[in-house]
Structure 1
Amino acid sequence: MTLQHPAHLVPEATTQDNMHFADATPNTTVFDPEKNNISATDAIQVVDKDAGQDSDGGSSFKQDGVKKVEAVTKTWNRKTLFLMFVLFYIVAVVDMLIVGTQANLDAYVTSEFSRHGLLGTVSIVSSLLGGCSSLTIAKIIDVWGRIEGFLCMMGLVAIGMLMKALCQNVETYAAAHTFYWVGHLGLLYVIDVMLADMTSLRNRMLILTLNGTPTIASSFAGPALAQLFYEESHFRWAFGAFGIILVGVCLPAALVMFLYQRKAYQAGAIEKKPSGRTWWQSIYYYVVQFDLLGIILVSGGFALILLPFSLAPLQAKGWADPGMIVMIIMGVLSLILFVAWERWWAPVQFMPFEYLKDRTIIGACLVYGLMFISIFIWDTYYFSYLQVVHRQSITHAGYILNSFSLMSSFISPFIGILISFTGDYKWTGLAGVPFMALGTGLLIHFRQPHHHVGLLVMCQLLNGIGSALFATCAQLGVMAAVPHQQIATAIALWGMFGGIGASIGVAVAGALWNNIIPQKLLELLPETAKDRFAEIYGDMVLQMSFQDGDPIRDAIVGAYADVQRRMAIAGACFMPAIFLCVFIWRNVNVVKLEKERGTQTKGTVF
């Protein structure tokens, strides 16, 4: 699921196949950094061939990365446009295969270290940092460039996969998963931004959702690959092999972008000059341009608020530990300081404060966050439930889980086509509410041991339809509200709420799991097995080893059934809030908006 697009633009000539081209007006003007309140010696100056007509329809201030990508889109042609889409699609295929494979191995990795209960804790930190890091990545690609951000994210994924392949304890695995997850989300995020650079507002969601269709293949291939690696080799080989493959498919896309950026330099569209800054002045310049303090405040704030939900069960005093309360208080204060900093003091805001008050942006971000809270509450331990209670194999459990993303990826392009014809995203988004409310609500009844797994697949499909409608429409709503300079940051903000929502969902799921499962197991286990309580609780493979009719298995199944029902109830409670957040969006027709203002960039785009 992705996001994107703004629009305040100047009309341009449009070809019959929806490809837009920059006019060839010869007058030039050089961007003057002093007039935009930034360093007097900008490292890169870009020639704007449409002086006086900013294609954003907003401020003429654009950071170097934005100016470079706009210059690059003026140098390529239709063939290059389609080549870039194909290369990004191949990267997406491999990335989704990695996700589909490793997601079905995570429970076995934590179980190998006898720490199955930490499955949620491992995920919460990576989800939180993955969401919040998008703000930093947004500044990297806005200030330095899209290619630089793309290569950085590829490197993080490679490091994370290598660490996973070599880890010897659950702590190292948690660190490795954090590197991997930040890189994975960042890689998809940079691709989304680059696809946004390549598309008009009207057709953007169609292209973005098409790039998400590899999930359809990975939904089937991922679980099968996971089982093959687990049975025929080892999970370490899965991580090592895919790390190498991903680097191999990323480099061609980066090379093409680099060659066309070089072509833009040679054509004079990008003019490189020495910055004239000292080493310390450069540090200060980038600290300001990245809005480093703002990013630290918002990321640290959410981290301090969410981590206690996973850490408290591990403390001797639980929530009575004063450290847990202090962390939450510090987190709230950090977020308050972030708002004050961005409103009154930040020299370069990560996003102009006027957009942070926009009701469509607020509503779309909240929808994405609340959707992931709801989903991850009941999804975090779903794989374990399917294997332990319903005795599904790795492959079949993965198929059941992936039916959610399968449906979401399948239906999303059709939603993109609908939007490209009607231009409506608000009422289309509202149509997702009944699907997800029904899918989540039915889970309360059907996620019990005596119900057939086919009914669980039905719930997954309903939730997949609802999430596709929410994600596609919310993403477009965010993008339609900002100019091109703010595209990367708007997408990052939207993605951050998704990451935070996932973290909250995992935190709630981890809190429910770590508090309910131990108590229920102690209550239900026969007296002769109570001394094995910790061993059974920490190892999913051991849990699956008991046969039907064994009192120990009955106790395990009973504990799972109890906690899963509570998780489904908690997830369903967020449906009314999601409806209200969609309802407050502005009812903007993006087809009419683009006819009035033109496409967002003046290069060759879809």
Structure 2
Amino acid sequence: MRNPFKHSGTLDAPVAVEYGNEHGVKNIEKAVEAGHPPVVDVTHPVDSDSEKFSADAQDGVKKMQATTTVWSKNHLITAYVLMWIITFIDALQQGTTGVLTPYVTSSFYEHSLTAYTGIMANIIGGVLKLPLAKVLDIFGRPQGFALTTFFLVLGLIMMAACDGVQTYSAAQIFYWVGYNGMSYTLGIFTSDTSSLRNRGFMFAFVSSPYIITVWCTGPLATAFLEGPGWRWCYGAFSIITLVVCLPLWALFQYNYRKAVKSGIIVPVKSNRTFSESVKYYSVEFDVVGLFLLMGGLVFFLLPFSLYSYQDGLWKSPLVVSFLIIGGLLLIGFTLYEKYVAPKTFIPFELLMDRTVMGACILSGIVFVSWYIWNSYFSSFIQVVNGLNVTQTSYIINIYSIGSCFFSLIVGLLIRWTGRFKWLALFFGAPVTMLGVGLLIHFRQPDVNVGYIVMCQIFIAFSGGTIVICEQIAALAATDHQHIAVVLAIEGMFTAIGGGIGGSIAAAVWTGVFPERLYRYMPAENQADVPAIYASLVTQLSYPKGTAARAAIEHAYGDAQRYMCIGATCILTLMFPAILVWRDIRVKEFKQVKGVVA
């Protein structure tokens, strides 16, 4: 692709021009007389700017567009290789630590809190994508990437050193803010450096390491459990993650500085005082709205997983007060954004687009369902089906390998046909509902694990289709300037959906599992029920075939049936969410500038 800043002939380096002042006008005149093309300062665009930068784009977007105009095809290829390596390490770490989570909570005798540990983390990590989008748009993509890497590594270090479920949950917040932010930033990098026609395939390529890591995570988790322990797993990945992330950050920084040296970008200081900067960025990031939304969601959703630990259950003062405070904060958020906020936290004008809103609702629905049926899946496979950690990881990661493999096919289909709505409507949604619905029957004791594998394959292929289609739908309905914000909104719906799903799963588990344990457990083991409920290790200590183990498996089956019924019911909302999309043709859609894939 032709570089718009590269001109024919033997001209000297272009002259950097700052428009809007007397010196800028003289520089323009001198540049024209000398035969040098003037270069637009990103902070002061002119009318001809539209050919070089997106109209009304913020500095971070323009910096990225300028970067893609000065880098070579080799650097573009290197960037995608580095993103693939980072995703590989993230996938390896996610798969390994996902298997270890029940052992972490069980080591503190709090296995029932397995779903709870991720509720706040998912909500906060998802909601913070919108201010992160502001960081990417205002300061730049590399700066946002560095920030998310810092939080991810900090979270891993805290998990390695945690001394209880509370500390582990706090570490999860830092980790998921970093992990969600990093995957989101890589998605923005991919969107910045690929045409809309190829973007589905490039998204799939960056996610393709999951096809490989599925075979590695189980043995790796087993090696840590049987060797140095789960703490060393988190500690090792904190170092590895930092090492693999630095080269990508350095590549983008190098090309940004190259754009500055060539005169394409002219950095201009704001000259604001510290207090003025605090006030300015408080408005830009809508700090009050952010606090109200996160606080409201956390307070409202936590009681669903905590009520069973309180005297009086749903009538306990703590649960009632949390629900009231959460509801009031959410109402306050709505009123503040509508009547008070100088800059709204959520760009409601984008949400008014039916394609964007439909894609966001779809992502939320899918994750509500996912977290309902998946929260205690790892424990179920080990206790009910009697599989070891390595075998469990293979089944859990069927979704990762299947969805990533099939998303490559979906990306090619979108590139070939230029359409995406029909894939989501006629394959993604119905097959997902079929796979989750079949789990109601097959996720029970004495059912061959092969049927569960079959359901996982259905969900994996259809899930890979839905994820690619929903992202392309949201991106096709906007321009380059709003890519970061639209993906952030989609990510926020995903995180809120995950938080709701996790809360429902925890509520079902704490409401059904212990009660059924007491119902089915032999009289001689009744006193052991609290210890059994609290620890996966204790559950596994009862040999297969004993009456106590059969009672545990029966209780698992009852809880899982309710979870899968709820997960299936919520999926019916997928169809109207997809039907409202516009059938946008992306084959000849031009959205980004510079040297892109």
2:452 to 435, 442, 456: 456
Partners of 1:47 and 1:276 in 2: CA distance: 15
Q: Residues 119-142 of structure 1, C-alpha deviation per residue, up to 9 Å, x if partnerless?
A: 011011111112111112111111
- Cα distance, 1:459–1:55 mapped onto 2, change above 3 Å: farther
SS in 2 for 1:220: coil
Amino acid at match of 1:492: A
State TM-score, norm by structure 2. 0.91
Whether the 8 Å CA contact 1:27–1:51 is kept in 2: the answer is no
The question of 1:429 aligning with 2:424 is answered: yes
> Gaps spanning 5+ residues in structure 2: where?
8-13, 22-40
Kindly tell me the number of residue pairs found equivalent between the two proteins. 571
User: Cα distance, 1:85 vs. partner?
Assistant: 0.7
Whether the 8 Å CA contact 2:386–2:544 is kept in 1: the answer is no
- Cα distance, 1:575–1:351 mapped onto 2, change above 3 Å: closer
1:446 — aligned with what?
442
User: Cα distance, 1:412 vs. partner?
Assistant: 0.3
The question of 1:605 aligning with 2:559 is answered: no
Rg (Cα) greater in structure: 2
Q: Residues 313-345 of structure 1, C-alpha deviation per residue, up to 9 Å, x if partnerless?
A: 222222112443443344344444444444454
Deviates more, 1:196-205 or 1:308-317: 308-317
Whether the 8 Å CA contact 1:309–1:507 is kept in 2: the answer is yes
User: Cα distance, 1:545 vs. partner?
Assistant: 1.2
Partners of 2:446 and 2:346 in 1: CA distance: 51
SS in 1 for 2:593: coil
Deviates more, 1:308-317 or 1:398-407: 308-317
SS in 2 for 1:74: helix
The question of 1:548 aligning with 2:530 is answered: no
Amino acid at match of 1:199: S
Q: Residues 389-438 of structure 1, C-alpha deviation per residue, up to 9 Å, x if partnerless?
A: 11101010111111112110100011011111211111111121221111
Whether the 8 Å CA contact 2:362–2:574 is kept in 1: the answer is yes
SS in 1 for 2:70: coil
2:465 to 446, 465, 469: 469
1:317 to 312, 317, 323: 312
User: Cα distance, 1:188 vs. partner?
Assistant: 0.6
Amino acid at match of 1:249: V
1:37 — aligned with what?
none
Whether the 8 Å CA contact 1:522–1:533 is kept in 2: the answer is yes
Whether the 8 Å CA contact 1:115–1:539 is kept in 2: the answer is yes
Provide the alpha-carbon RMSD of the alignment: 2.1
Residues 153-302 of structure 1 correspond to what in structure 2 (within 5 A)? 153-302=148-297
Whether the 8 Å CA contact 1:343–1:353 is kept in 2: the answer is no
Partners of 1:413 and 1:27 in 2: CA distance: 44
User: Cα distance, 1:144 vs. partner?
Assistant: 1.4
Amino acid at match of 2:593: K
- Cα distance, 1:171–1:32 mapped onto 2, change above 3 Å: farther
Whether the 8 Å CA contact 1:56–1:600 is kept in 2: the answer is no
User: Cα distance, 1:270 vs. partner?
Assistant: 1.6
User: Cα distance, 1:24 vs. partner?
Assistant: 5.0
The question of 1:81 aligning with 2:76 is answered: yes
User: Cα distance, 1:46 vs. partner?
Assistant: 3.9
2:501 to 501, 505, 508: 505
Partners of 1:385 and 1:180 in 2: CA distance: 25
Amino acid at match of 2:572: P
User: Cα distance, 1:22 vs. partner?
Assistant: 3.2
Residues 385-400 of structure 1 correspond to what in structure 2 (within 5 A)? 385-400=380-395
Partners of 2:498 and 2:379 in 1: CA distance: 18
The question of 1:51 aligning with 2:62 is answered: no
Whether the 8 Å CA contact 2:64–2:192 is kept in 1: the answer is yes
- Cα distance, 1:354–1:404 mapped onto 2, change above 3 Å: same
Whether the 8 Å CA contact 1:370–1:574 is kept in 2: the answer is yes
State TM-score, norm by structure 1. 0.90
The question of 1:369 aligning with 2:385 is answered: no
Partners of 1:111 and 1:183 in 2: CA distance: 25
1:572 — aligned with what?
568
2:31 — aligned with what?
none
Whether the 8 Å CA contact 2:346–2:489 is kept in 1: the answer is no
Q: Residues 137-158 of structure 1, C-alpha deviation per residue, up to 9 Å, x if partnerless?
A: 1111111111111111111111
Whether the 8 Å CA contact 2:53–2:62 is kept in 1: the answer is no
- Cα distance, 1:336–1:476 mapped onto 2, change above 3 Å: farther
User: Cα distance, 1:117 vs. partner?
Assistant: 0.6
User: Cα distance, 1:29 vs. partner?
Assistant: 7.3
- Cα distance, 1:546–1:177 mapped onto 2, change above 3 Å: same
Whether the 8 Å CA contact 1:20–1:605 is kept in 2: the answer is no
Partners of 2:310 and 2:210 in 1: CA distance: 39
2:4 — aligned with what?
22
> Gaps spanning 5+ residues in structure 1: where?
1-18, 34-43
2:10 — aligned with what?
none
User: Cα distance, 1:94 vs. partner?
Assistant: 0.5
Partners of 2:19 and 2:393 in 1: CA distance: 52
User: Cα distance, 1:113 vs. partner?
Assistant: 0.8
RCO higher in structure (CA 8 A, sep ≥6) = 1
The question of 1:327 aligning with 2:317 is answered: no
- Stretches of 4+ aligned residues off by more than 6 angstroms: 25-29, 54-57
Whether the 8 Å CA contact 1:81–1:605 is kept in 2: the answer is yes
1:589 to 582, 585, 591: 585
- Cα distance, 1:47–1:203 mapped onto 2, change above 3 Å: farther
User: Cα distance, 1:283 vs. partner?
Assistant: 0.6
Deviates more, 1:385-394 or 1:227-236: 227-236
1:4 — aligned with what?
none
SS in 1 for 2:114: helix
Partners of 1:170 and 1:489 in 2: CA distance: 34
User: Cα distance, 1:574 vs. partner?
Assistant: 1.4
User: Cα distance, 1:445 vs. partner?
Assistant: 0.8
2:524 to 523, 528, 551: 528
Amino acid at match of 1:452: N
User: Cα distance, 1:45 vs. partner?
Assistant: 4.5
Partners of 1:253 and 1:69 in 2: CA distance: 14
Residues 105-124 of structure 1 correspond to what in structure 2 (within 5 A)? 105-124=100-119
Partners of 1:394 and 1:305 in 2: CA distance: 34
Whether the 8 Å CA contact 1:20–1:602 is kept in 2: the answer is no
